[in-house]
Amino acid sequence: MSEQLIIAGKPYHSRLLVGTGKYKDFVETRAAIDASGAQIVTVAIRRTNIGQIAGEPSLLEYLPSEEFTYLPNTAGCYSADDAVRTLRLARELLDGHKLVKLEVLGDPKTLYPNVIETIAAAKILVKDGFDVMVYTSDDPIIAKQLEDIGCCAVMPLASLIGSGMGILNPWNLQIIIENAKIPVLVDAGVGCAGDAAIAMELGCDGVLMNTAIAAAHDPIMMAGAMKKAIEAGRESFLAGRMPKKLYSASPSSPTAGMIS
């Protein structure tokens, strides 16, 4: 398909972005990501285990930068300062890498985003030269403000992180999509392939997910299902659905030529 997702000027043929957390091991992580067809993978930045055994494999060895675009995140950050600090470390860690996922949480119980801190961090990061994909609530006004700040993609939640509750407010997502001139990706809350397809049918440019794949009974099969759902949903959106009617006096089979 020639139709591509452009993020910060770079084209991607896959509209599915995936996380790398919660897998059994790196082998399963890699297998699931291969099955998903994802080209952009999120990674978290954490303290190195000082006592680790030399030669112990690392995540990035299983996901080489020649094959994947890394999207370092700020998961676990509750303030703009912590998020900015984390992404500056990520940039150093990944040799000047600019594409990042900003998320600033407001509450450890729900992991609901703190949009005030998110906006503050976005301003600093954009000014500092980062390409910021920003996780936010499904508030259309906030989404627009984040775009105006200069974020390269806005990523509203479908429902809360790790909840698998699916798309709870398709109407807000539609308003965000209608208003946006940058890519809109649903991030968080997708639970199954049907949810991913619905997001794409709404007109989302892509979907970012982790738990829906990693916590499935068979993560690798689910990764494949998500790939197909994203593609099907996108084509369904582009094809343009038939109008909804309560009933129709227009059957699919001819009314003429009936036997009598």
Partner 1 sequence: MQISINGNLKQFDGENMTISALIVTLNLTGKRLAIEKNGEIVPRSQFSETKLHDGDKLEIVGAVGGG
Q: Which spans of this chain sit near partner 1 (rule: CB under 8 A)? A: 19-23, 29, 42-48, 50, 52-54, 58-60, 70, 72-73, 75, 85, 88-90, 92-94, 161, 208-211
Query: Using only C-alpha atoms, what is the Rg of the chain?
Result: 20
Q: Three-state DSSP class for 101?
A: strand
Q: Which residues are catalytic?
A: 101
Angle at CA 141, nearest 5°, toward 135 and 144?
Answer: 65
DSSP-derived letter for residue 161 is T
For the CB of residue 241, give the shortest distance to partner 1 in the complex, in Å.
31
- Gap between the Cα atoms of 184 and 142, Å rounded: 13
Query: Would you say 145 or 163 has its CB closer to partner 1?
Result: 163
For the CB of residue 190, give the shortest distance to partner 1 in the complex, in Å.
11
For the CB of residue 123, give the shortest distance to partner 1 in the complex, in Å.
20
Query: Would you say 27 or 141 has its CB closer to partner 1?
Result: 27
- Gap between the Cα atoms of 162 and 100, Å rounded: 20
Backbone angles phi, psi at 100, to 5 degrees: -140, 160
For the CB of residue 254, give the shortest distance to partner 1 in the complex, in Å.
52
For the CB of residue 146, give the shortest distance to partner 1 in the complex, in Å.
20
Query: Would you say 89 or 116 has its CB closer to partner 1?
Result: 89
| Bridge partners for 185 per DSSP | 206
Residue 233 near residue 200, CB atoms below 8 Å: yes
215 to each of 41, 232, 260, how far by Cα in Å?
17, 22, 58
- Gap between the Cα atoms of 108 and 131, Å rounded: 26
Give the strand pairing for 131-136 and 99-102: parallel
Query: Would you say 149 or 155 has its CB closer to partner 1?
Result: 155
Query: Would you say 73 or 114 has its CB closer to partner 1?
Result: 73
Segments in 202-245 forming alpha helices (H): 211-214, 219-239
Q: Tokens 């009314």 identify what position?
A: 255
